[in-house]
Every structure is written in structure tokens, then in C-alpha cells.
Structure 1
């Protein structure tokens, strides 16, 4: 059995800021990838299209920068996982449901309906609710 050393796994302001940074970096990478791929106007749904997509998408500066930023995102995520339980960290990444639409509106000039914004706020509310729960305070059986 693999032993995982116990460290302070509480959600601190510092760790929360790391999560927000990680998700902002992720959103930036996705925006860059979208801009780069939209400019190429590729359709990867056929084999020939997939080969062309693989070839031309890697020539895009936006796509290359997006991939580089995804690498940064990976290292920030590893740092987060060293500080926080996975079952706590992953739901908190849902903050991306707010960050990415904001970036999409501001940078890509996408239009987002009121109904979608309400859905996004409900997701954020659920994330806050999950993050505030403490497993040691739960009554009854838990999955551990």
C-alpha cells in the first residue's frame, strides 16, 4: 500500500488563490487555442482533415502559446494537489465556469444569455457549498 504523508490539507486563502490562478491560466490557454484554431478554419472530422488539423494547428502562434500556458497550468495544478485533497481541489476548479465565460465575452466577444449566466451562478453556488462542507462534521456513513 502506498503511504501518502499527511500535510495540512485545509483550503487556505493561499491555496484558493492558487486555484483561481490555475483556472485563469487554463482559461487563457483555451482562449488562445480558440483564437488560433478559429483563424485556421479547419475541420478535423475526416481523416484528411485530422491530418491537416494536426499539421497546421501546431504552426499557429496562438496554439503554440496556448500549449505552453497549459504546461504552466500543469505545474500549478501539481502544486495545488500537494497542498489539498483531490476531492476538495477538483470541485473548486469549477470556478472556471465563471472565468472562461468572462474571458470569452471580454476577449472573443461572445454573447452569453441570461439563462446561461444563471446556470453559471448556480454552479458557483454549488462549488461554494461543497467547499464549505467538512467531512469530519458529517453525520452518518461517509465514503472513505
Structure 2
């Protein structure tokens, strides 16, 4: 079985984009929250977020993710696509450690290894249920 049939280019691109967008959303969101003034009021924090270019970027990326996810789900089963996008857990973890200088430990690293193993196992399955293939 060829890789192309098992993992069509359009689906691969959509899943990769979903992982990249989710990673960007998480990192930008963290930066937006950290940049808030320390005023102690949740309402004032919400108001500050609504004026923050970082928070607005997060909302725009989430909208892009919505439309990307429509395309992904039209080409794959949810039970396949969603677990594969958990690779964003790995990318967020790595970039949080590298760029945000967050601490890590062996338990977290073990968890990341388990996520990678899980994604590998799921990637070995069909991306579309045979009975649904004609509907796509």
C-alpha cells in the first residue's frame, strides 16, 4: 500500500496545518495572558485582552483552524484525525521549553513519548472507514 493512498496529500497538509495553527494559538495565547497588566480584576483582564493584538491574532487563528478542520474532516474520520493532531501537544511542549523557558521533568518527557507512540499507532490505520469511503 502506497503512502499516498494511505495518507492523501490534502489530508496530510490539513493535519499539518491544524498542528501548526494549534501550536501557534497556544504559544500566542500564553504570551497574551502574560502581557496582561496585573490588576487583579477578571473583567479588566477581559477588556485588556479584547484590545490586545496578540489575543486578536489568537481569534483569527482559531477561525482559520475552524475552516481547516472542515476540510480535514471531509477527508478523514474524526477517530483518525483528532488523535493525529495531538502532535500539537508535542510541539507546544517543545516550544514552551525552548522559547518560554518553562521547566520540564522526566514524567512530562515520558508523556510526550507516549503521545508520539499513540500517534504512530493511529497513523498505521486507515484514515477513512471503508463503509464511509463512498460518501467522501
| TM-score for both structures, normalised by structure 1 | 0.74
Contact 1:40 1:56 in 2 (8 A): yes
> Unpaired segments of 5 or more residues in structure 1?
1-8, 137-144
Structure ID, larger Rg: 1
Contact 2:14 2:72 in 1 (8 A): yes
The answer on 1:126 being equivalent to 2:126 is: no
1:20 to 3, 16, 19: 16
Name the counterpart of 2:88.
Answer: 96
Q: What SS class does the counterpart of residue 83 from structure 1 fall into?
A: coil
Contact 2:37 2:45 in 1 (8 A): no
1:111-134 Cα deviation digits (max 9, x unpaired): 222321121111110121123135
> Unpaired segments of 5 or more residues in structure 2?
131-136
Contact 1:92 1:127 in 2 (8 A): yes
Name the counterpart of 1:55.
Answer: 47
1:54-107 Cα deviation digits (max 9, x unpaired): 211111111111111111111111111111111111111111121111221232
The answer on 1:38 being equivalent to 2:34 is: yes
Matched residue count: 124
2:109 to 117, 120, 129: 117
RMSD: 2.3
Structure 1 position 10, deviation (Å): 5.0
